[in-house]
Chain A
Amino acid sequence: MASSTISCNASDLIPLLSGGANATATAAAAEFICSRFETVSGKFTDAGYAIDNTYLLFSAYLVFSMQLGFAMLCAGSVRAKNTMNIMLTNVIDAAAGGLFYYLFGFAFAYGAPSNGFIGKHFFGMSDFPKPTFDYPFFLYQWTFAIAAAGITSGSIAERTQFVAYLIYSSFLTGLVYPIVSHWFWSSDGWASPARSDNLLFQSGVIDFAGSGVVHMVGGIAGLWGALIEGPRIGRFEQRSKPLTLRGHSATLVVLGTFLLWFGWYGFNPGSFAIIFKSYGTSPGSSFYGQWSAVGRTAVTTTLAGCTAALTTLFGKRLIDGYWNVTDVCNGLLGGFAAITSGCSVVEPWAAVICGFVAAWVLMGFNKLADKLQFDDPLEAAQLHGGCGAWGIIFTGLFADKTYVSEIYGGDPNRPFGLFMGGGGRLLAAHVVQIVVIVGWVSVTMGTLFFVLHKMELLRIPSEDEVAGMDPTSHGGLAYMYTEEEIKNGIMVRGVGGEDDHVQGHVGVL
């Protein structure tokens, strides 16, 4: 006869022990035994905290390494003359984000108890830690916040004043993003699946690690910045077709992409926050637990990215005629951005579908951007905004009943994916998520960028853009390979032909 808990009630135990005549001794025996069981229970609780915090902390460190990945991806994707600028924006993202998220970002996001719109406790981490939130959780959420701000920097690269950058980044990390994360991830949020009552469409939105909360927010913000300030000089000047302003180092692009892939294993599986939880009916009854779900999430993540990469590889071979590593890298990342929403609640075979479609979504949005003369140096709006939105829809179609129930608990009749037989309410909630995020981010960040534009604080002057931001605002060039270069400040250029803006390929690594 197995027991389901370790707790022990002396009054239950005493009748079982009453073979002996001495009632006092029996009571003492019961006390003796029960108190030891209490200790056992306490020690399991302690072990659980240690295990879960180890898991969450290392996941946070992995998500942090995505900053580095994005910095290298950005650097490799822009021209050499703007390298220091874009990397500085990535460093400052993390630093300014640290300060503002500590001061009020975390409070707006998770300051419970509160209302459905915004949080209101833990400003400057006061009253912290609580049983609900400990420091590792704060650190983990900080790494997510700075990821969102990093995404936007890609859209407005190579032509944005640094001051504008500081302003929008603080605003995004300190206010716009935390509020969105409150809606979908806080237990108080109006659209959260973890609410105790009044779930949106009796379901809530399932955006497990943030295809919407992180990727769409970053991507839509980038969309507005890039729209309002306009394309880079030279990008759409020829009537026949857009000019590719190629990045200066494919090596850095691949380095960055792989680091992002590496870090994504903290981003997606880490979003469980807790690993020490069995799914069996009683403790010790099963090998299957949240640790399995964590592993499955790492697998779905992997499969979506891989499929997107391969699809892009062959798609681009057909369309452009050659095997293109930087496009494959972007396709890969688009697959990850898409699976981020449903990684924990779908089967691995579904993740393959997710990645396949994500690749086409990205290629389609890129074609559309060219047609509309929208210039995004990192294709961030297309990738994070577009593939992020697809990911949200995907989850509404393919979320599996068992997994939703294991992770989100609650009503056994809660909605799940449409194609899995779960009805349309989850999908409806997800459409609402897309609309609401687009609306909120457009209103806030669009207005901010517009105001900056009107105050002439947004875009740099064209002479600076042609010369490059590094020599004009950052003290010099990023690269100095030969003595001559050091002496004369030479910049590498392509030779002759119509393509005066095409960079030569003396890269960095």
Chain B
Amino acid sequence: MSAALTCSAADLSSLLGPNATAAAEYICGQLGTVNNRFTDAAFAIDNTYLLFSAYLVFSMQLGFAMLCAGSVRAKNTMNIMLTNVLDAAAGGLFYYLFGYAFAFGGSSEGFIGRHNFALKDFPTLTSDYSFFLYQWAFAIAAAGITSGSIAERTQFVAYLIYSSFLTGFVYPVVSHWFWSPDGWASPFRSPEDRLFGTGAIDFAGSGVVHMVGGIAGLMGALIEGPRRGRFEKSGRAIALRGHSASLVVLGTFLLWFGWYGFNPGSFAKILVPYESGSSYGQWSGIGRTAVTTTLAGSTAALTTLFGKRLLSGHWNVTDVCNGLLGGFAAITGGCSVVEPWAAIVCGFVAALVLIGCNKLAEMVQYDDPLEAAQLHGGCGAWGLIFVGLFAKEKYVNEVYGAAPGRPYGLFMGGGGKLLGAQFVQILVIAGWVSATMGTLFFILKKLDLLRISEKDEMAGMDMTRHGGFAYMYYDNDDESHRATQLQRVEP
């Protein structure tokens, strides 16, 4: 039987006998020091964990940049990569100035935060710089997603404007609702204030990050229209293939790698025992989250592999990569509160959802070079529903705090309240992002600031506004050029 480390010298000395005050104070003082050193150690351990998780999430920027580059035509490569670099950079500035404050700023009401602008009165007991950095890495992920939908035809100025608005305002407000302890739909709210008695569970952001990025991209791509040549007058879709499958695979694997910071890292702390002295603690939940993430992605990849083999007749690596990412986007919401076998179900359905959304997009002549709206929006939404169905009671209580009668997944016997909250989340995110980003894109279009001219689109954005092509394989010198020549492939 163990007790808290608090030690009252008065209590102890009465037990030790008449002359024992000094002894009691000595012992209690030592125990107090021990307690404090534990507190220090926990901060060091948890911050190490969170910082390295943040670096991993940051590497997803690199992954997304490579994925985007490989997925667009060579003549637009520099453009898309510049948007990714600027995402991170502009996001850094705006999230510091007010994004973080709107998201997590101190004690506020349910809609928006209002403290810690430019990190004033920071750090606090609950939030240190590692937490800010981690949240910044998430914010720039959301903005990156949108860039994929509007690639190859968007003016750079429009890009700067929407990206700052998304990272500095639209996204932070959404993250406030679902992740701040004050947010109106947050599962961290005090029990009597929770939406439907539960709050919406979106652990690492199938909705907050992926749906927000995807719906914003949807608005942009809808308003500016498809790329030239994508849909013939008859309605037939032409594939405008990306220029490098190697970059697509490189980018996908880097995103997979970084997802191990995105999902498990969202616990923020690793040193939380579930029963003192037992081997089972938050570190187990974190490990389990890494496993569910892996299984969902793997299953989605395999499902896409065989699905596409049936549908198109060959084994398609770039489609498999997208399917893989769709599985990750889906599991992101529930990765910490479901069993590994459920993650397999999640990934399987996510693959089908992506294939279905892509077919739908073609039918309605919606063009998204990275299929970002379908992947992040569609699979993200599925991920939220999935949580409402498969969340396990034990894990929900461990992660979000035990409360008697707390709702959990419908298929696990937890009733329909959590699923109800998830539906609310989907509707609210779709509504908020459409209203804000849709309006912004519309205004930009009316001001002729959104889409580039047809001439520029045919020539390629790198040539017309980024100083030249991304790739220079020949010098102007004739000698080296003679070494290689393009030749038709013999039949």
Residues of chain A at the chain B interface (Cβ within 8 Å): 17, 19-22, 25-26, 28-29, 32-33, 35-36, 38-43, 45-47, 49-51, 53-54, 57-58, 60-61, 64-65, 67-68, 71-72, 75, 83-85, 87-88, 90-92, 94-99, 102, 124-125, 129-131, 134-139, 142, 162, 249, 252, 255, 467, 470-471, 473-476, 478-482, 484-486, 488-495, 504-509
Of all A-B residue pairs in the complex, the 3 with the closest CB atoms, nearest first, are: A20-B17, A135-B287, A504-B484
Q: A20-B16, A36-B5, A50-B271 are in contact. List 12 more A-B contacts (CB 8 A).
A: A19-B16, A33-B27, A36-B4, A41-B277, A57-B287, A92-B302, A98-B297, A134-B283, A135-B286, A470-B245, A478-B244, A508-B246
Q: Which of B142-150, B254-262, B416-424, B440-448 is near enough to bind chain A?
A: B254-262
User: Distance (Å) between the CB of B264 and the closest chain A CB?
Assistant: 7
Judged by a CB distance under 8 angstroms, whether B415 is at the interface is no
Is A50 a contact partner of B283 (Cβ separation < 8 A)? yes
Is A473 a contact partner of B45 (Cβ separation < 8 A)? no
Chain B contacts of A508 at CB under 8 A?
Answer: 244, 246-247
Q: Mark B1-45, 1 if CB is under 8 A from A, else 0.
A: 111110100011011111110000001000100100010011001
Q: Mark B252-293, 1 if CB is under 8 A from A, else 0.
A: 111011001100100000111100111111111011101100
Is B301 a contact partner of A92 (Cβ separation < 8 A)? yes
25 interchain pairs, CB-CB under 8 A: A17-B17, A20-B20, A33-B12, A36-B5, A39-B4, A40-B5, A53-B270, A53-B283, A57-B286, A60-B290, A65-B257, A71-B253, A87-B246, A88-B315, A91-B249, A95-B299, A97-B298, A136-B290, A249-B246, A470-B245, A479-B246, A481-B74, A490-B489, A504-B483, A509-B247
The one of A85, A91, A97, A252 in contact with B324, judged by C-beta atoms closer than 8 angstroms, is A91
Is B12 a contact partner of A489 (Cβ separation < 8 A)? no
Interface centre among A60, A88, A482, A493 (most CB of B within 10 A): A88
Given contacts A39-B5, A124-B341, A492-B484, are A136 and B317 in contact (CB under 8 A)? Answer: no
Judged by a CB distance under 8 angstroms, whether B305 is at the interface is yes
The one of B14, B18, B276, B288 in contact with A135, judged by C-beta atoms closer than 8 angstroms, is B288
Is B324 a contact partner of A68 (Cβ separation < 8 A)? no
Chain A contacts of B56 at CB under 8 A?
Answer: 61
Chain A contacts of B14 at CB under 8 A?
Answer: 25
Is A64 a contact partner of B283 (Cβ separation < 8 A)? no
Residues of chain B at the chain A interface (Cβ within 8 Å): 1-5, 7, 11-12, 14-20, 27, 31, 34, 38, 41-42, 45-46, 48-49, 52, 56, 73-74, 241-247, 249-250, 252-254, 256-257, 260-261, 264, 270-273, 276-284, 286-288, 290-291, 294-295, 297-299, 301-302, 305, 312, 314-318, 320-321, 324, 340-341, 344, 471, 473, 482-489
Is B18 a contact partner of A20 (Cβ separation < 8 A)? yes
User: Distance (Å) between the CB of A296 and the closest chain B CB?
Assistant: 21
Chain B contact residues: helix, strand, loop or mixed: helix
Is A38 a contact partner of B2 (Cβ separation < 8 A)? yes
Is B286 a contact partner of A53 (Cβ separation < 8 A)? yes
Chain A contact residues: helix, strand, loop or mixed: helix
Chain B contacts of A71 at CB under 8 A?
Answer: 249-250, 253
Chain A contacts of B298 at CB under 8 A?
Answer: 94-99
